[in-house]
Protein backbone atom coordinates (compact mmCIF):
# COMPACT_ATOMS: atom_id res chain seq x y z
CA UNK A 1 0.00 0.00 0.00
CA UNK A 2 2.85 2.31 0.87
CA UNK A 3 4.55 1.81 -2.44
CA UNK A 4 1.37 2.34 -4.37
CA UNK A 5 0.44 5.56 -2.69
CA UNK A 6 3.91 6.98 -2.97
CA UNK A 7 4.13 5.97 -6.62
CA UNK A 8 0.81 7.62 -7.28
CA UNK A 9 2.02 10.70 -5.53
CA UNK A 10 5.32 10.81 -7.35
CA UNK A 11 3.82 10.20 -10.78
CA UNK A 12 1.61 13.25 -10.31
CA UNK A 13 4.55 15.45 -9.39
CA UNK A 14 6.95 15.72 -12.32
CA UNK A 15 8.43 12.27 -11.74
CA UNK A 16 10.44 12.86 -8.59
CA UNK A 17 12.04 9.64 -7.42
CA UNK A 18 11.16 8.71 -3.85
CA UNK A 19 13.27 6.06 -2.18
CA UNK A 20 14.12 4.80 1.26
CA UNK A 21 17.64 3.96 0.09
CA UNK A 22 20.54 6.30 0.68
CA UNK A 23 20.92 6.86 -3.03
CA UNK A 24 19.18 6.09 -6.29
CA UNK A 25 20.48 2.76 -7.67
CA UNK A 26 22.33 3.19 -10.93
CA UNK A 27 22.49 6.94 -10.59
CA UNK A 28 24.91 9.25 -8.93
CA UNK A 29 23.94 12.05 -6.58
CA UNK A 30 25.46 15.27 -7.83
CA UNK A 31 23.88 17.85 -5.60
CA UNK A 32 21.93 17.86 -2.36
CA UNK A 33 19.68 20.52 -0.88
CA UNK A 34 19.00 19.48 2.69
CA UNK A 35 15.92 18.13 4.38
CA UNK A 36 12.45 18.26 2.91
CA UNK A 37 9.42 17.34 4.94
CA UNK A 38 5.71 16.91 4.57
CA UNK A 39 3.19 16.47 7.31
CA UNK A 40 -0.54 16.34 7.74
CA UNK A 41 -2.92 15.86 10.62
CA UNK A 42 -6.24 14.25 9.98
CA UNK A 43 -9.33 13.31 11.86
CA UNK A 44 -12.23 11.12 10.91
CA UNK A 45 -15.76 12.30 11.53
CA UNK A 46 -17.41 11.24 14.72
CA UNK A 47 -19.42 8.46 13.04
CA UNK A 48 -16.25 6.66 12.01
CA UNK A 49 -14.86 7.14 15.52
CA UNK A 50 -17.92 5.46 16.97
CA UNK A 51 -17.69 2.61 14.45
CA UNK A 52 -14.04 2.12 15.35
CA UNK A 53 -14.97 2.08 19.02
CA UNK A 54 -17.47 -0.68 18.33
CA UNK A 55 -15.01 -2.62 16.20
CA UNK A 56 -12.56 -2.33 19.06
CA UNK A 57 -14.81 -4.68 21.04
CA UNK A 58 -14.10 -7.59 18.74
CA UNK A 59 -10.70 -6.59 17.42
CA UNK A 60 -9.45 -6.77 13.85
CA UNK A 61 -8.64 -4.15 11.29
CA UNK A 62 -10.09 -0.71 11.92
CA UNK A 63 -10.90 0.08 8.28
CA UNK A 64 -11.86 3.68 9.00
CA UNK A 65 -8.50 4.40 10.57
CA UNK A 66 -6.53 2.45 7.96
CA UNK A 67 -8.15 4.69 5.38
CA UNK A 68 -7.36 7.75 7.48
CA UNK A 69 -3.69 6.90 7.67
CA UNK A 70 -3.45 6.05 3.98
CA UNK A 71 -4.94 9.36 2.98
CA UNK A 72 -2.68 11.14 5.43
CA UNK A 73 0.42 9.34 4.16
CA UNK A 74 -0.41 10.20 0.59
CA UNK A 75 -0.84 13.83 1.46
CA UNK A 76 2.32 13.96 3.55
CA UNK A 77 4.34 12.53 0.65
CA UNK A 78 2.75 15.01 -1.74
CA UNK A 79 3.70 17.88 0.51
CA UNK A 80 7.25 16.61 0.83
CA UNK A 81 7.46 16.40 -2.96
CA UNK A 82 6.15 19.94 -3.23
CA UNK A 83 9.02 21.11 -1.06
CA UNK A 84 11.45 19.10 -3.20
CA UNK A 85 10.05 20.87 -6.28
CA UNK A 86 10.70 24.23 -4.67
CA UNK A 87 14.38 23.49 -4.23
CA UNK A 88 14.67 21.98 -7.72
CA UNK A 89 15.44 18.39 -6.73
CA UNK A 90 14.67 15.40 -8.91
CA UNK A 91 14.82 12.79 -6.17
CA UNK A 92 14.22 12.43 -2.44
CA UNK A 93 16.36 9.77 -0.82
CA UNK A 94 16.39 8.09 2.55
CA UNK A 95 12.72 8.82 3.14
CA UNK A 96 11.37 8.06 6.61
CA UNK A 97 7.82 8.05 7.90
CA UNK A 98 6.71 8.85 11.41
CA UNK A 99 3.21 8.57 12.82
CA UNK A 100 1.92 10.03 16.01
CA UNK A 101 -1.46 10.33 17.56
CA UNK A 102 -1.54 14.02 18.36
CA UNK A 103 -5.09 14.31 19.61
CA UNK A 104 -7.94 11.99 20.32
CA UNK A 105 -9.17 10.54 17.05
CA UNK A 106 -6.62 12.51 15.03
CA UNK A 107 -3.36 11.19 13.65
CA UNK A 108 -0.36 12.95 12.24
CA UNK A 109 1.68 11.52 9.43
CA UNK A 110 5.07 12.93 8.80
CA UNK A 111 7.42 12.11 5.94
CA UNK A 112 10.94 13.45 5.56
CA UNK A 113 13.95 12.82 3.42
CA UNK A 114 16.92 14.48 1.75
CA UNK A 115 16.27 16.31 -1.49
CA UNK A 116 18.97 15.56 -4.10
CA UNK A 117 19.70 15.90 -7.76
CA UNK A 118 20.79 12.73 -9.55
CA UNK A 119 22.31 12.33 -12.96
CA UNK B 1 28.14 15.64 -4.17
CA UNK B 2 27.92 19.35 -3.50
CA UNK B 3 25.59 21.22 -1.20
CA UNK B 4 23.46 23.94 -2.64
CA UNK B 5 21.72 25.93 0.09
CA UNK B 6 18.21 26.68 -0.97
CA UNK B 7 15.40 28.21 0.95
CA UNK B 8 11.98 26.67 0.75
CA UNK B 9 9.87 29.74 0.05
CA UNK B 10 6.43 28.57 1.02
CA UNK B 11 5.00 26.93 4.08
CA UNK B 12 3.89 23.75 2.38
CA UNK B 13 3.04 22.02 5.60
CA UNK B 14 0.59 24.64 6.75
CA UNK B 15 -2.63 24.85 4.79
CA UNK B 16 -3.05 28.46 3.65
CA UNK B 17 -6.46 29.07 5.10
CA UNK B 18 -7.38 31.79 7.55
CA UNK B 19 -8.03 30.22 10.95
CA UNK B 20 -11.25 32.15 11.37
CA UNK B 21 -12.57 31.03 7.97
CA UNK B 22 -11.69 27.49 8.87
CA UNK B 23 -13.37 27.93 12.23
CA UNK B 24 -16.51 29.38 10.68
CA UNK B 25 -16.69 26.45 8.27
CA UNK B 26 -16.35 23.97 11.10
CA UNK B 27 -18.83 25.72 13.33
CA UNK B 28 -21.29 26.03 10.44
CA UNK B 29 -21.02 22.34 9.59
CA UNK B 30 -21.42 21.27 13.19
CA UNK B 31 -24.32 23.63 13.82
CA UNK B 32 -26.16 22.68 10.63
CA UNK B 33 -25.57 19.00 11.26
CA UNK B 34 -26.65 19.23 14.91
CA UNK B 35 -29.73 21.18 13.88
CA UNK B 36 -30.57 18.49 11.35
CA UNK B 37 -30.01 15.77 13.89
CA UNK B 38 -32.02 17.70 16.46
CA UNK B 39 -34.94 18.26 14.13
CA UNK B 40 -34.69 14.74 12.75
CA UNK B 41 -34.64 13.23 16.19
CA UNK B 42 -37.51 15.49 17.18
CA UNK B 43 -39.53 13.99 14.34
CA UNK B 44 -38.36 10.50 15.25
CA UNK B 45 -39.22 11.13 18.89
CA UNK B 46 -42.69 12.35 17.95
CA UNK B 47 -43.16 9.24 15.84
CA UNK B 48 -41.77 7.06 18.59
CA UNK B 49 -44.02 8.66 21.21
CA UNK B 50 -47.15 7.45 19.45
CA UNK B 51 -45.69 3.98 19.13
CA UNK B 52 -44.13 3.46 22.53
CA UNK B 53 -46.13 0.88 24.47
CA UNK B 54 -47.76 1.74 27.82
CA UNK B 55 -45.61 -0.94 29.46
CA UNK B 56 -42.48 0.72 28.12
CA UNK B 57 -43.64 4.13 29.25
CA UNK B 58 -44.36 2.80 32.72
CA UNK B 59 -40.88 1.33 32.85
CA UNK B 60 -39.33 4.67 31.91
CA UNK B 61 -41.51 6.42 34.46
CA UNK B 62 -40.50 4.02 37.22
CA UNK B 63 -36.84 4.65 36.51
CA UNK B 64 -37.32 8.40 36.48
CA UNK B 65 -39.43 8.42 39.61
CA UNK B 66 -36.74 6.62 41.59
CA UNK B 67 -34.62 9.76 41.52
CA UNK B 68 -37.42 12.18 42.46
CA UNK B 69 -37.95 12.76 46.17
CA UNK B 70 -41.58 12.40 47.18
CA UNK B 71 -43.20 12.45 50.56
CA UNK B 72 -45.88 10.00 51.56
CA UNK B 73 -46.52 10.73 55.23
CA UNK B 74 -49.75 9.94 57.03
CA UNK B 75 -50.87 13.56 57.03
CA UNK B 76 -50.67 13.64 53.30
CA UNK B 77 -52.61 10.48 52.55
CA UNK B 78 -55.91 12.37 52.86
CA UNK B 79 -54.70 15.02 50.48
CA UNK B 80 -53.52 12.37 48.07
CA UNK B 81 -56.87 10.64 48.24
CA UNK B 82 -58.65 13.90 47.58
CA UNK B 83 -56.38 14.81 44.67
CA UNK B 84 -56.77 11.38 43.14
CA UNK B 85 -60.54 11.59 43.33
CA UNK B 86 -60.41 15.02 41.77
CA UNK B 87 -58.19 13.72 39.01
CA UNK B 88 -60.50 10.80 38.30
CA UNK B 89 -63.53 13.06 38.06
CA UNK B 90 -61.66 15.24 35.56
CA UNK B 91 -61.09 12.38 33.16
CA UNK B 92 -63.22 12.22 30.05
CA UNK B 93 -65.48 9.15 29.64
CA UNK B 94 -63.29 7.84 26.84
CA UNK B 95 -60.08 8.33 28.83
CA UNK B 96 -57.46 5.71 28.00
CA UNK B 97 -56.52 3.99 31.24
CA UNK B 98 -53.69 1.89 29.85
CA UNK B 99 -51.31 3.89 32.00
CA UNK B 100 -52.54 4.30 35.57
CA UNK B 101 -52.19 7.83 36.91
CA UNK B 102 -50.48 8.40 40.23
CA UNK B 103 -50.12 11.60 42.21
CA UNK B 104 -47.02 12.30 44.28
CA UNK B 105 -46.67 15.17 46.72
CA UNK B 106 -43.27 16.77 46.75
CA UNK B 107 -42.13 18.87 49.70
CA UNK B 108 -41.04 22.15 48.23
CA UNK B 109 -41.16 25.88 48.86
CA UNK B 110 -41.83 26.38 45.18
CA UNK B 111 -45.36 26.08 43.91
CA UNK B 112 -45.15 23.76 40.97
CA UNK B 113 -46.72 20.78 39.29
CA UNK B 114 -45.32 18.51 36.64
CA UNK B 115 -45.98 15.24 34.95
CA UNK B 116 -43.32 12.73 34.03
CA UNK B 117 -43.62 9.71 31.72
CA UNK B 118 -45.55 6.82 33.18
CA UNK B 119 -48.45 8.96 34.41
CA UNK B 120 -46.73 10.27 37.53
CA UNK B 121 -48.03 13.70 38.47
CA UNK B 122 -45.85 15.62 40.90
CA UNK B 123 -47.49 18.31 43.00
CA UNK B 124 -45.53 20.42 45.48
CA UNK B 125 -46.73 21.22 48.98
CA UNK B 126 -46.45 24.93 48.25
CA UNK B 127 -48.93 24.62 45.40
CA UNK B 128 -51.47 22.97 47.71
CA UNK B 129 -51.00 25.75 50.26
CA UNK B 130 -51.53 28.44 47.66
CA UNK B 131 -54.71 26.96 46.21
CA UNK B 132 -57.82 28.92 47.17
CA UNK B 133 -60.52 26.91 45.49
CA UNK B 134 -61.00 23.44 44.11
CA UNK B 135 -61.55 24.88 40.65
CA UNK B 136 -58.10 26.36 40.31
CA UNK B 137 -56.44 23.24 41.71
CA UNK B 138 -58.47 21.17 39.28
CA UNK B 139 -57.23 23.35 36.44
CA UNK B 140 -53.59 22.61 37.32
CA UNK B 141 -54.29 18.87 37.52
CA UNK B 142 -56.27 18.92 34.29
CA UNK B 143 -53.48 20.82 32.59
CA UNK B 144 -51.01 18.07 33.49
CA UNK B 145 -53.63 15.54 32.43
CA UNK B 146 -53.72 17.31 29.07
CA UNK B 147 -49.98 16.88 28.74
CA UNK B 148 -50.39 13.23 29.62
CA UNK B 149 -53.09 12.63 27.01
CA UNK B 150 -50.94 14.34 24.35
CA UNK B 151 -47.97 12.29 25.63
CA UNK B 152 -45.96 15.48 25.96
CA UNK B 153 -43.72 14.25 28.81
CA UNK B 154 -42.32 11.57 26.51
CA UNK B 155 -41.76 14.06 23.71
CA UNK B 156 -40.03 16.50 26.01
CA UNK B 157 -37.97 13.71 27.47
CA UNK B 158 -36.87 12.47 24.06
CA UNK B 159 -35.66 15.88 22.95
CA UNK B 160 -33.78 16.76 26.09
CA UNK B 161 -31.95 13.47 25.72
CA UNK B 162 -30.86 14.52 22.22
CA UNK B 163 -29.69 17.88 23.55
CA UNK B 164 -27.59 16.29 26.24
CA UNK B 165 -26.02 13.92 23.75
CA UNK B 166 -25.00 16.72 21.40
CA UNK B 167 -23.63 18.78 24.26
CA UNK B 168 -21.56 15.94 25.67
CA UNK B 169 -20.29 15.00 22.20
CA UNK B 170 -18.91 18.51 21.90
CA UNK B 171 -17.42 18.23 25.35
CA UNK B 172 -19.35 21.25 26.58
CA UNK B 173 -22.00 19.58 28.66
CA UNK B 174 -21.75 17.81 31.95
CA UNK B 175 -20.27 14.89 30.08
CA UNK B 176 -22.65 12.16 31.13
CA UNK B 177 -26.14 11.77 29.83
CA UNK B 178 -26.94 10.05 33.07
CA UNK B 179 -30.56 9.43 33.78
CA UNK B 180 -30.21 11.19 37.12
CA UNK B 181 -28.80 14.31 35.48
CA UNK B 182 -31.81 14.29 33.23
CA UNK B 183 -34.25 14.17 36.08
CA UNK B 184 -32.59 17.24 37.59
CA UNK B 185 -34.29 19.29 34.93
CA UNK B 186 -37.28 17.03 34.74
CA UNK B 187 -39.70 19.23 36.64
CA UNK B 188 -38.70 22.04 34.32
CA UNK B 189 -39.36 20.19 31.09
CA UNK B 190 -40.02 22.77 28.47
CA UNK B 191 -42.96 22.20 26.26
CA UNK B 192 -43.63 24.16 23.15
CA UNK B 193 -46.23 26.93 23.17
CA UNK B 194 -48.57 24.75 21.11
CA UNK B 195 -48.26 21.90 23.59
CA UNK B 196 -48.93 24.28 26.48
CA UNK B 197 -52.01 25.83 24.97
CA UNK B 198 -53.35 22.45 23.85
CA UNK B 199 -53.02 21.30 27.46
CA UNK B 200 -54.72 24.51 28.61
CA UNK B 201 -57.68 23.99 26.31
CA UNK B 202 -57.89 20.35 27.36
CA UNK B 203 -57.88 21.48 31.00
CA UNK B 204 -60.59 24.08 30.54
CA UNK B 205 -62.75 21.61 28.67
CA UNK B 206 -62.39 19.10 31.50
CA UNK B 207 -63.23 21.79 34.05
CA UNK B 208 -66.36 22.83 32.17
CA UNK B 209 -67.37 19.18 31.85
CA UNK B 210 -66.97 18.67 35.60
CA UNK B 211 -68.39 21.88 37.04
CA UNK B 212 -70.53 23.09 34.18
CA UNK B 213 -68.58 26.35 34.07
CA UNK B 214 -65.00 27.60 33.99
CA UNK B 215 -65.27 30.15 36.78
CA UNK B 216 -62.32 30.59 39.15
CA UNK B 217 -60.31 27.99 37.32
CA UNK B 218 -58.07 30.69 35.91
CA UNK B 219 -57.61 32.34 39.30
CA UNK B 220 -54.02 31.19 39.51
CA UNK B 221 -53.36 33.17 36.36
CA UNK B 222 -55.32 36.18 37.48
CA UNK B 223 -53.70 36.29 40.91
CA UNK B 224 -50.22 36.14 39.54
CA UNK B 225 -50.78 39.48 37.81
CA UNK B 226 -51.69 41.25 41.02
CA UNK B 227 -49.50 39.41 43.49
CA UNK B 228 -45.97 40.53 44.21
CA UNK B 229 -43.13 38.90 42.37
CA UNK B 230 -41.74 37.05 45.37
CA UNK B 231 -44.85 34.99 45.67
CA UNK B 232 -44.48 31.25 45.59
CA UNK B 233 -46.99 31.22 42.80
CA UNK B 234 -44.86 33.16 40.42
CA UNK B 235 -42.42 30.29 40.16
CA UNK B 236 -45.03 27.92 38.78
CA UNK B 237 -45.90 30.38 36.10
CA UNK B 238 -42.30 31.19 35.36
CA UNK B 239 -41.94 27.65 34.07
CA UNK B 240 -45.27 28.13 32.34
CA UNK B 241 -44.67 31.48 30.68
CA UNK B 242 -46.82 33.99 28.82
CA UNK B 243 -49.52 34.03 31.47
CA UNK B 244 -51.37 36.98 30.01
CA UNK B 245 -51.52 35.58 26.50
CA UNK B 246 -52.74 32.24 27.76
CA UNK B 247 -55.60 33.75 29.71
CA UNK B 248 -56.68 35.81 26.73
CA UNK B 249 -56.49 32.80 24.45
CA UNK B 250 -58.45 30.60 26.88
CA UNK B 251 -61.22 33.17 27.25
CA UNK B 252 -61.39 33.42 23.48
CA UNK B 253 -61.71 29.65 23.13
CA UNK B 254 -64.38 29.59 25.83
CA UNK B 255 -66.42 32.21 23.98
CA UNK B 256 -66.08 30.35 20.69
CA UNK B 257 -67.16 27.03 22.18
CA UNK B 258 -69.86 28.66 24.27
CA UNK B 259 -68.42 27.53 27.57
CA UNK B 260 -69.89 29.22 30.61
CA UNK B 261 -67.26 31.20 32.51
CA UNK B 262 -69.49 32.17 35.43
CA UNK B 263 -70.76 29.83 38.12
CA UNK B 264 -70.55 28.64 41.67
CA UNK B 265 -67.06 28.14 43.03
CA UNK B 266 -66.38 24.87 44.81
CA UNK B 267 -64.38 25.33 48.00
CA UNK B 268 -61.59 23.10 49.09
CA UNK B 269 -62.71 20.58 51.71
CA UNK B 270 -61.77 21.92 55.16
CA UNK B 271 -60.97 18.55 56.65
CA UNK B 272 -58.19 18.07 54.09
CA UNK B 273 -56.89 21.59 53.85
CA UNK B 274 -56.59 23.44 57.12
CA UNK C 1 -20.75 30.92 27.87
CA UNK C 2 -19.26 34.43 28.07
CA UNK C 3 -16.16 33.05 29.78
CA UNK C 4 -15.87 30.53 27.00
CA UNK C 5 -16.05 33.21 24.29
CA UNK C 6 -13.50 35.34 26.13
CA UNK C 7 -11.15 32.37 26.38
CA UNK C 8 -11.63 31.70 22.67
CA UNK C 9 -10.92 35.32 21.75
CA UNK C 10 -7.88 35.60 24.01
CA UNK C 11 -6.60 32.27 22.69
CA UNK C 12 -7.09 33.36 19.12
CA UNK C 13 -5.57 36.84 19.29
CA UNK C 14 -2.67 36.15 21.63
CA UNK C 15 -2.07 32.79 19.98
CA UNK C 16 -1.84 34.18 16.47
CA UNK C 17 0.40 37.07 17.53
CA UNK C 18 2.78 34.62 19.22
CA UNK C 19 2.66 32.32 16.22
CA UNK C 20 3.53 35.14 13.79
CA UNK C 21 6.40 36.20 16.03
CA UNK C 22 7.70 32.66 16.23
CA UNK C 23 7.51 32.18 12.47
CA UNK C 24 9.37 35.44 11.88
CA UNK C 25 12.07 34.29 14.27
CA UNK C 26 12.26 30.82 12.68
CA UNK C 27 12.61 32.25 9.18
CA UNK C 28 15.33 34.65 10.24
CA UNK C 29 17.32 31.92 11.94
CA UNK C 30 16.81 29.52 9.05
CA UNK C 31 18.33 32.05 6.67
CA UNK C 32 21.22 32.57 9.05
CA UNK C 33 22.03 28.87 9.32
CA UNK C 34 21.28 27.81 5.76
CA UNK C 35 24.98 27.50 4.85
CA UNK C 36 25.29 24.34 6.95
CA UNK C 37 23.65 21.36 5.23
CA UNK C 38 21.56 18.86 7.12
CA UNK C 39 20.94 15.54 5.46
CA UNK C 40 18.97 12.50 6.47
CA UNK C 41 21.52 9.96 5.20
CA UNK C 42 25.07 9.22 6.19
CA UNK C 43 25.15 5.74 7.70
CA UNK C 44 25.94 3.82 4.52
CA UNK C 45 26.66 6.57 2.04
CA UNK C 46 30.27 7.57 1.89
CA UNK C 47 30.51 10.64 4.10
CA UNK C 48 32.82 13.56 3.45
CA UNK C 49 36.25 13.52 5.02
CA UNK C 50 36.09 14.84 8.56
CA UNK C 51 38.17 14.94 11.71
CA UNK C 52 35.52 14.78 14.35
CA UNK C 53 31.89 13.80 14.83
CA UNK C 54 29.49 14.48 17.66
CA UNK C 55 25.82 13.98 18.44
CA UNK C 56 23.57 17.00 18.48
CA UNK C 57 19.97 17.08 19.52
CA UNK C 58 17.45 19.87 19.64
CA UNK C 59 14.05 19.54 21.18
CA UNK C 60 11.06 21.75 21.80
CA UNK C 61 7.58 21.45 23.23
CA UNK C 62 4.94 23.58 21.54
CA UNK C 63 1.41 23.86 22.80
CA UNK C 64 -1.80 24.93 21.11
CA UNK C 65 -3.97 27.82 22.25
CA UNK C 66 -7.53 27.49 23.45
CA UNK C 67 -8.95 28.54 20.10
CA UNK C 68 -7.02 25.85 18.24
CA UNK C 69 -8.07 23.25 20.75
CA UNK C 70 -11.73 24.10 20.37
CA UNK C 71 -11.44 24.21 16.56
CA UNK C 72 -9.84 20.78 16.57
CA UNK C 73 -12.55 19.35 18.80
CA UNK C 74 -15.05 20.53 16.18
CA UNK C 75 -12.87 19.07 13.44
CA UNK C 76 -12.92 15.79 15.28
CA UNK C 77 -16.67 15.67 14.76
CA UNK C 78 -16.56 16.63 11.11
CA UNK C 79 -13.41 14.84 9.99
CA UNK C 80 -10.74 16.00 7.55
CA UNK C 81 -7.51 17.96 7.83
CA UNK C 82 -6.86 19.41 11.24
CA UNK C 83 -5.33 22.56 9.78
CA UNK C 84 -5.08 24.41 13.09
CA UNK C 85 -2.55 21.93 14.44
CA UNK C 86 -0.43 21.89 11.29
CA UNK C 87 1.32 25.11 12.24
CA UNK C 88 2.02 23.75 15.74
CA UNK C 89 3.86 20.75 14.35
CA UNK C 90 5.54 22.77 11.62
CA UNK C 91 6.82 25.28 14.17
CA UNK C 92 7.94 22.47 16.45
CA UNK C 93 9.92 20.69 13.73
CA UNK C 94 11.61 23.77 12.39
CA UNK C 95 12.45 25.00 15.87
CA UNK C 96 13.89 21.61 16.88
CA UNK C 97 16.01 21.42 13.71
CA UNK C 98 17.21 24.98 14.25
CA UNK C 99 18.22 24.29 17.84
CA UNK C 100 20.13 21.23 16.73
CA UNK C 101 21.77 23.17 13.94
CA UNK C 102 22.70 26.13 16.10
CA UNK C 103 24.41 23.87 18.62
CA UNK C 104 26.28 22.16 15.83
CA UNK C 105 27.32 25.48 14.27
CA UNK C 106 28.54 26.74 17.65
CA UNK C 107 30.67 23.60 17.84
CA UNK C 108 31.95 24.34 14.35
CA UNK C 109 30.19 21.71 12.29
CA UNK C 110 30.37 21.91 8.53
CA UNK C 111 27.36 19.64 8.15
CA UNK C 112 24.90 17.55 10.15
CA UNK C 113 24.31 14.09 8.76
CA UNK C 114 21.90 11.24 9.43
CA UNK C 115 19.29 13.54 10.93
CA UNK C 116 16.21 11.92 12.47
CA UNK C 117 13.06 13.50 13.80
CA UNK C 118 10.69 12.20 16.46
CA UNK C 119 7.35 13.58 17.60
CA UNK C 120 5.44 12.78 20.72
CA UNK C 121 2.16 14.14 21.97
CA UNK C 122 2.47 15.32 25.54
CA UNK C 123 -1.00 16.70 26.15
CA UNK C 124 -3.54 14.55 27.89
CA UNK C 125 -5.89 15.07 24.98
CA UNK C 126 -4.45 12.03 23.26
CA UNK C 127 -5.63 9.87 26.13
CA UNK C 128 -9.16 11.18 25.93
CA UNK C 129 -8.98 13.99 28.45
CA UNK C 130 -9.51 17.66 27.79
CA UNK C 131 -7.15 20.48 28.41
CA UNK C 132 -3.54 20.53 27.41
CA UNK C 133 -2.46 19.89 23.85
CA UNK C 134 1.27 19.96 23.32
CA UNK C 135 3.73 18.18 21.08
CA UNK C 136 7.36 17.50 21.71
CA UNK C 137 9.64 17.37 18.71
CA UNK C 138 13.18 16.13 18.95
CA UNK C 139 15.67 16.41 16.10
CA UNK C 140 19.00 14.64 16.34
CA UNK C 141 21.90 14.06 14.03
CA UNK C 142 25.64 13.78 13.80
CA UNK C 143 27.63 16.95 13.32
CA UNK C 144 30.98 16.64 11.55
CA UNK C 145 33.92 19.04 11.30
Q: How far apart are CA B67 and CA B70, in angstroms?
A: 9
Residues in A touching C120 (Cβ below 8 Å): 100
Residue B271 in any domain: the answer is no
Topology of C2-144 in CATH? Translation Initiation Factor IF3 (3.30.110)
pLDDT over 60 (residue C23): yes
Q: Quick one: B39 and B140 in the same domain?
A: no
Residue B143 in any domain: the answer is yes
Q: Quick one: B130 and B59 in the same domain?
A: yes
Q: Quick one: B253 and B214 in the same domain?
A: yes
Q: Quick one: B134 and B211 in the same domain?
A: yes
In this complex, is the C-beta atom of A50 within 8 Å of any C-beta atom belonging to chain B?
A: no
Total number of domains in chain B = 2
Cβ atoms of B158 and B48 closer than 8 Å: yes
| Interchain proximity C40–A113, CB inside 8 Å | yes
In chain A the domains, ranked by start, together with CATH numbers, are: 2-118 (3.30.110.70)
The minimum CA-CA distance between B171 and chain A, rounded to whole Å, is: 12
Domain span at B128? 54-257
- The three-state (H, E, C) secondary structure of B201-248, written as one string: HHHHHHHHHHHCCCCCCCHHHHHHHHCCCCCHHHHHHHHCCCHHHHHH
What SS3 class is residue A77?
A: helix
Residues in B touching A32 (Cβ below 8 Å): 1-4
Q: Quick one: B23 and B142 in the same domain?
A: no
DSSP state of C41: -
**Which chains form contacts with chain C, at 3 or more CB pairs under 8 Å?**
A, B
What SS3 class is residue C92?
A: helix
Q: Quick one: B221 and B182 in the same domain?
A: yes
pLDDT of res. B40: 83
DSSP H or E stretch at residue B193:
helix B193-211
> What end-to-end distance do the CA atoms of chain A give, in Å?
29
The predicted model gives C2-6 an average pLDDT of 87
| Interchain proximity A38–B13, CB inside 8 Å | yes
**What values do phi and psi take at C114, rounded to 5?**
55, 50
pLDDT band at A32 (very low <50, low <70, confident <90, very high): confident
The angle that helices A63-87 and A46-58 make with each other, rounded to 10 degrees, is 120
The predicted model gives C129-145 an average pLDDT of 80
pLDDT over 50 (residue C72): yes
Give this prediction's pTM: 0.59
User: Contacts for B7-11 with beta carbons within 8 Å, 24 or more apart?
Assistant: B7/C30, B7/C31, B7/C34, B8/A36, B8/A83, B8/A86, B8/A87, B9/A86, B10/A86, B11/C90
How high is the mean pLDDT of chain B? 74
Distances (CA, A) of B62 to B101, B142, B179, B229: 12, 22, 12, 35
The partner residue sitting opposite A112, judged by closest CB among C43, C44, C117, is C117
pLDDT of res. C95: 93
User: What residues of chain B, 13 to 32, have a C-beta less than 8 Å from chain A?
Assistant: 13
B205-214, B262-271, C94-103: range with lowest mean pLDDT: B262-271
Q: A82 or A45: which carries more pLDDT confidence? A: A82
pLDDT of res. C28: 92
Amino acid sequence: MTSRSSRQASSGNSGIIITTLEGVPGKEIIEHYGLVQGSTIRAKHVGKDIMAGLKNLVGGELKGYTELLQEARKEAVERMIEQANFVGANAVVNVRFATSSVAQGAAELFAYGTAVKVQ
Amino acid sequence: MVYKPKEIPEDVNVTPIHPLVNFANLLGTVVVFSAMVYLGLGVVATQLVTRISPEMEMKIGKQLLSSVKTTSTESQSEKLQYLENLLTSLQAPDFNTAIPLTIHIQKSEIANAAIIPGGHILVTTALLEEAESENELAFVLAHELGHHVARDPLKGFGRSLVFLTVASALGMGTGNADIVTLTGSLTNLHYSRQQESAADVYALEAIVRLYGHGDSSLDFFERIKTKDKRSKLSSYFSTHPLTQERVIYLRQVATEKGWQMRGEVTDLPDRVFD
Amino acid sequence: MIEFIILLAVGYFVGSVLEKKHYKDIKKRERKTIHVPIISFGAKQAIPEANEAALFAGSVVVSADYFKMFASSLRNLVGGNVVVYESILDRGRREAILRMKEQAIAWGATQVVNVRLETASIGNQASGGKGLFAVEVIAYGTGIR
